[in-house]
Amino acid sequence: MDSDALDNPDLYINRELSLLEFHRRVLAQARDETLPLLERLRFLCISSSVLDEFFEIRVAGLKQQEAYGAVQRGPDNLSPSEQLRRIAPKARALIDEQYRVLNEELLPTLDREGIHFINKADWSPAQRKWIKRYFNHELAPIMSPIGLDPAHPFPDPLNKSLAFIVNLKGKDAFGRNSGKAIVQAPRALPRVVRLPESCADGPNDFVLLSSIIDAHMDELFPGMQATGVYQFRVTRNSDLFVDEEEVDDLLRALEGELPSRRYGEAVRLEVAQDCPEELEAFLTAQFHLSREDVYRCSGPVNLMRLATVPDLVERPDLKYPGFLPGVPDRVRRANDMFEAIAAGDVLLHHPFESFAPFLEFLRQAAKDPGVLSIRQTLYRTGAHSAVVEALTEAASNGKEVMVVIELRARFDEAANIELANHLQGAGAQVVYGVVGHKTHAKMCMVIRREGRALKRYVHLGTGNYHTSTARLYTDYGLFTCDPAMGNDVQKVFAQLTAMGRAGRLKKLLQSPFTLHKSMLEYIDAEADNARNNKPARVAAKMNSLIDRSVIEALYRASQAGVAIDLIVRGICALRPGVPGVSENIRVRSVVGRFLEHTRVFYFENGGKPRVYLSSADWMGRNFFNRVEVCFPIENEDLKKRVVLESIDNYMQDNCQAWRLDEDGTYRTASGSPTKRRSAQLSLLAMLSDKA
């Protein structure tokens, strides 16, 4: 098929619709009765949270494009308006399903397990008494109800905050009553309140903060009557805009822009199912939304309120079993990390293997008198993490500590600003990368004097240096002291912290310079090998596959007869199984206990396989608008291990895997019930210490 034929929009799945399909797969975990009950509740909350972000960023961006009359289209040839029209019914169906799962499946099952969410109609006299006292002591003093009249205009609720619109009857002391009021729930208080033993029927009796406020609404308007109380929540555009070419200090510019996230333009309104249409119309007018932007909720308007419940309930039998992450034998036996790395490359596969060796590497570097310098990139880590403590100690001990912090890590901007100030205060040098490019590469380099020579020890990863996500995300980390690799990493750091040209890298592939070009070359080489009857295969694992030129290269390789296996967690714009185009391509997604985050790229290369790990997905932003690194696995045993653990293992999953079909929908890749195989459980059995 010629290149013109690959321009056919039908060959490309819309990225937003593909993302909604991923949200549907997450929600399916909440329905899976083979999973522990409280973990199912957690998945329901996650599905709500990721859908919030979808509206805050993706829908908000499309609305802006529509308002500005943008004409640029993706390979699917859908305009912003067409995308919004297709998104609305799918998002509405997803939200309806979330509440069906909550009301018909999870709440009844939780109730049978003694975990009760007690409605106000079912409160006992003792519970009513305690709840009234809680309202008077904890809520009433900090609430500011606003009766709407010319002197009290409609308030602007914060992004995603819980609020109520109230119908009022009667007049106040001044004879006023517009008939409506707005009450905002205090953000500082927990959304789920545990009842004390004195009035509870069991250890896990809860009431929602919204129910407490609803039940005592009259008390906020003395002498008046609340004849109707209805929850609502507005979702706003949360993308930050900073013109990096026009600012002198990126940190201060971001600090000034962050408050706008709370009050960006409204993109979605959620209201209680029983909210009268006239109040819905009133709210949509206030937020300048249309009826298509309104979503009715058969329960709490923010399901994330329930996210604290699994941690509040001490029921290990209703949660995933614990496990102890493994540590490679060589690392366990070594006297120090430098000794272990000097003996050969060390590969860690988190969370099945521990993140602790990296922390120990940093701590030893901070104390080692031979260590002269530490350089590290930080994208998401938290200001008070063990990583930051080690870097702070190193700076205090007189090491040269250089940290590249990406201030613009979405939704972590405030934390990263705090982190930058903290490290600077400790004496570390802090820079913010390259204007116009997010620094997404995951690199740490320690320069150590050994005898008369300086030796570089390097850690490269596919995920963030974050101790919490290292227990929840699947990621790889590679330790090496290979001189060429160390020299490449030093050149990349020089690009980030200084100016000038670093020169050609010997082993690393880097965005925005060589990664995209190299991926295309490697895919095309597999197509040539297939045409020449040489071994040919492409296998890749990533979060998202969107880049059109990569998809076209994969289509061409498929037409040449290359077997292509893709494990794509989230968005996939490639359409597999199209006759004459992609019948040799298989695409699957795995959604399980841990968030799949590894990026693995395998090319058969005529029987001499190339295996790369990377911080980058196959997306335009990763190839052209970010600083990314893609690093080779050269040790043959480690190559085989990566392919076994992250390609073959996931292609054999028949428990938590989904297969992408030609029509753009996903179906479970179920297998024989007697030969069930979960990729993540297999890795736990293979790599962790005994559960």
446 within 8 A of 376, measured Cβ to Cβ: no
- Which residues, in sequence order, are bridge partners of residue 322? none
Tell me which residue has tokens 């106040």.
172
Tell me which residue has tokens 């020089």.
494
> CA-CA distance, 475 to 472, in Å (whole number)?
9
Q: What DSSP string describes 55-110?
A: IIIIIHHHHHHHHTT-----TT---HHHHHHHHHHHHHHHHHHHHHIIIIIIHHHH
84 within 8 A of 42, measured Cβ to Cβ: no
* Cα dihedral across residues 685, 42, 652, 604: positive or negative: negative
Catalytic-role residue among 23, 437, 440, 516: 440
Tell me which residue has tokens 């941690």.
311
> CA-CA distance, 362 to 2, in Å (whole number)?
52
State how far the alpha carbon of 210 is from the alpha carbons of 115, 139, 189, 271, 680, in Å.
18, 11, 11, 13, 38
Encoded amino acid at 508, one letter? L
688 within 8 A of 357, measured Cβ to Cβ: no
* Cα dihedral across residues 554, 556, 557, 558: positive or negative: positive
Q: What DSSP string describes 142-198?
A: G---EE-BTTBPPP-PPTT--EEEEEEES--TTS---SEEEEEPPTTS-SEEEPPTT
649 within 8 A of 682, measured Cβ to Cβ: yes
Tell me which residue has tokens 């109230």.
166
Q: How many CB atoms lie within 10 A of CB 89?
A: 10
State how far the alpha carbon of 572 is from the alpha carbons of 13, 319, 665, in Å.
7, 31, 11
Tell me which residue has tokens 């008390």.
219
- Exposed, middle or buried: residue 27 (CB in 10 Å: 0-12, 13-18, 19+)? buried
Residue 439: phi, psi to the nearest 5?
-90, 100
244 within 8 A of 436, measured Cβ to Cβ: yes
Query: Known catalytic residue: 440?
Result: yes
- Any alpha helices (H) in 250-377, and if so which ranges? 250-257, 277-286, 309-312, 329-333, 337-342, 356-367
* Cα dihedral across residues 361, 364, 368, 372: positive or negative: positive
User: Please, which residues have CB within 8 angstroms of residue 677's CB and are 6 or more apart in sequence?
Assistant: 652, 653, 654, 655, 671
Catalytic residue set: 440
